[in-house]
Structure 1
Amino acid sequence: MTAGTVPAKRRRVWITGGNGMVGRNLREHSRAADWDIIAPGRAELDLSDRQAVLDFVRTQRPDLVIHAAGQVGGIQANMADPVGFLVNNLDMGRNVIMGAFEMGVPALINLASSCMYPRGRNHALRESDIMTGELEPTNEGYALAKIVSTRLCDYIARADADLAYRTIIPCNLYGRHDKFDPKASHLVPAIIAKVSQAVACGEDEVEIWGDGTARREFMYAADLADAVWRAAEAPAALPQLMNIGLGDDHTIRAYYEAVAQALGWTGRFRFDLTRPVGMQRKLSDVSLQRGWGWTAPTSLQDGIAATIQFYQQQAQAS
């Protein structure tokens, strides 16, 4: 058996952050039925409590950990609470990864973030670019925490070749179970909420931070879940560090236009040039991913339509 491959008779997986957007998409995916999933919520297991995490792993004995938990948010949230984004993500990453390591869990898939990449790069971001330049200040704390967790997995894999501790770096995500409050959400769900409000209130203007020319790569969260479950079948076959993304991007204005078209809103955009926009471009190099044999199946139009439907269903239920 290949090192780090999860044997068919031992298919117990612990998903951290199982109630978050990524965790819920993982649990909804068709391949989830092949696994015995344990995904305690925050009230059941505090990931910042090292001893509680150790006791949990000792008791549950998972064959695989998928570390998807984290304090996440867009530019506003990161700028409002840099201490929390650094310390909370640092604590969770260290406790989960070291808890798995100390309890002998053979495989772990760590979900990192493209925020780890240096700012100001014009080329598609390669895995080798990490720690080669200054980070984007608006999410530096979050990025630093994710870099530490990524390095920790790397060190563990170097120290013991029988342990398949790997890191996947997703591009920006959106989709079902996202956060739609503009104060806490990422770009696409925030756009859906803003344009939906404009439709509901009969407003003919929506504000965009910056001039709309910054470019972003957003993948539908269910597609990430598809990639992660594929990785879960043979974690040792993954590169130590691998981007998961689309390999193409769009301007921020284009995302607004796509949402406006999907909702039938025909108003105008107002650009607030005093607002921060983060990196001018953040595009993943997906060469390793393509060599691994996977591409995202969902188009931007289909992903936005499904996310709008989820948003509307949640609004009606509340």
Structure 2
Amino acid sequence: MNLALYLFLDVLTGMVISIMVVANTLYGQATTMGVSLIVNHTIGLTVLTLILLLGRNKPAIRGPRMKAPWYLYFNGLFGLAILNLNYYTVINTGASLAMASTVFGQSICSLVFDLTGWMGMQKRSLNKVKAVSLTVSLVGILIMAASGDGTFALLFILLGILAGALTMTQMVLNSTLAIYKGAIRASHQNFIGGLVAGLVFYFLLQGEQTLGGLATTAGLPFLLVFSGGTLAVFVVVSTSYVIVKIPAVYSALLLSSSQILMSLAIDTVFFDSFSLPLLLGSLLMLLGMGGNLFADKKANP
């Protein structure tokens, strides 16, 4: 794959994430947040297991099966933390500010990965052009944060930033595991870890509510129940392919921008709601990323 195709895949993944989040939120509202996680991970794990079984003779699906560092196998645990952090951030600050703080966390964390080469990422330098471009992206994030949707609460803003950082870390870890095991098998392991963590956490702390939510699932529309888990498979496998191939900050900004733009389209078409700060902020983020791409192209003609 060339750079343009990787960037397109990031954009597509961000758009799919927006649809997935809407589906998960609606499902969670109809049942509970824990049921949404458990069912989505079960569906995703089932889909990936079938892919591995049917494609066991194909190297691209089977993967290299190399020995991987032990900590990569616990990557799925991040999903439980991210889900809860996002939930409390949205509840206490509003959707726009929660989204802005998460995007900021993703961007900062991705920059750390690029500058340090941490967790197997390629180490990359930061020149003046890139610094200015990242500043433009930061201005876009701040514009989204100033949209006025929600109450400013520093603790929950920090939780949103942490959620973004954990999201980026999970993507990098899964992508690194994919080097050893292949993207499908790495994603399969991710879903196993997330499902086990969700079952233990929610049945121990919210057992009665979780059982009640699972009972409610039988009466819900098929598309609502199955869309979140199925789309999650695409998101996890796609990011496994892309994250280690291009600078992490590109993925963070592209995923975030396309996710926001898709969310704006969904809100405008289906909920008759439009946010100009989110549009301007996401466009500035894309402009800043364009500056980064220009700097890389100039340095490596």
Does the pair score TM above 0.5? no
**Higher strand proportion (structure 1 or 2):** 1
- Normalising by structure 1, we get a TM-score of 0.28
**Higher helix proportion (structure 1 or 2):** 2
- Normalising by structure 2, we get a TM-score of 0.29
